[in-house]
Copies of this chain bind each other. A is one copy, B any other.
Amino acid sequence: MAQMLTQTLKTEAINTQIGGKIAPARPVSDQFGAIAGHAGLVATEFSYRKDEEIYGEDEPAEYVYQVVSGAVRSYKLLSDGRRQIGAFHLPGDVFGLEPGQTHRLAAEAIIATSVRLVERASLERVAGTDVQVARKLWAMTAGELRHAEDHMLLLGRKTAMERVATFLLEMDRRLAVANMMALPMCRRDIGDYLGLTLETVSRALSQLHAKGILGFSGARQIVLRNRQHLHNLDA
CB proximity to B under 8 Å, residues A117-175: 127-129, 131, 134-135, 137-139, 141-142, 144-146, 148-153, 155-158
Give 1 or 0 for each of A33-50: 1 = CB within 8 Å of chain B CB: 000000000000000000
Knowing A145-B144, A149-B105, the reply to whether A138 touches B99 (Cβ < 8 A) is yes
**Chain B positions within 8 Å of A157 at CB level:** 78, 82-84, 195
Interface size, chain A (Cβ < 8 Å):
41
Whether B152 and A152, one on each chain, are in contact in the complex, defined by CB atoms closer than 8 angstroms, is: yes
Give 1 or 0 for each of A100-118: 1 = CB within 8 Å of chain B CB: 1000110000000000000
A interface secondary structure, majority: helix
Judge if A178 is at the interface, Cβ distance under 8 Å. no
Judge if A235 is at the interface, Cβ distance under 8 Å. yes
Whether A135 and B139, one on each chain, are in contact in the complex, defined by CB atoms closer than 8 angstroms, is: no
User: Looking at the complex, which one of B84, B134, B151, B158 makes contact with A135 (CB distance below 8 Å)?
Assistant: B134
- Bound CA span A154–B66, Å: 28
CB proximity to B under 8 Å, residues A37-80: 76, 78-80
Copies of this protein in the complex: 2
Give 1 or 0 for each of A211-235: 1 = CB within 8 Å of chain B CB: 0000000000000000000000001
The 6 A-B pairs at the shortest CB distance, nearest first, are namely A156-B195, A148-B148, A155-B155, A134-B134, A138-B138, A84-B156
Q: How far is the CB of A62 from chain B (nearest CB, A)?
A: 17
Whether A153 and B235, one on each chain, are in contact in the complex, defined by CB atoms closer than 8 angstroms, is: no
Whether A142 and B86, one on each chain, are in contact in the complex, defined by CB atoms closer than 8 angstroms, is: no
Q: How far is the CB of A15 from chain B (nearest CB, A)?
A: 21
User: Looking at the complex, which one of B141, B146, B152, B195 makes contact with A138 (CB distance below 8 Å)?
Assistant: B141
- Bound CA span A139–B192, Å: 28
Judge if A98 is at the interface, Cβ distance under 8 Å. yes
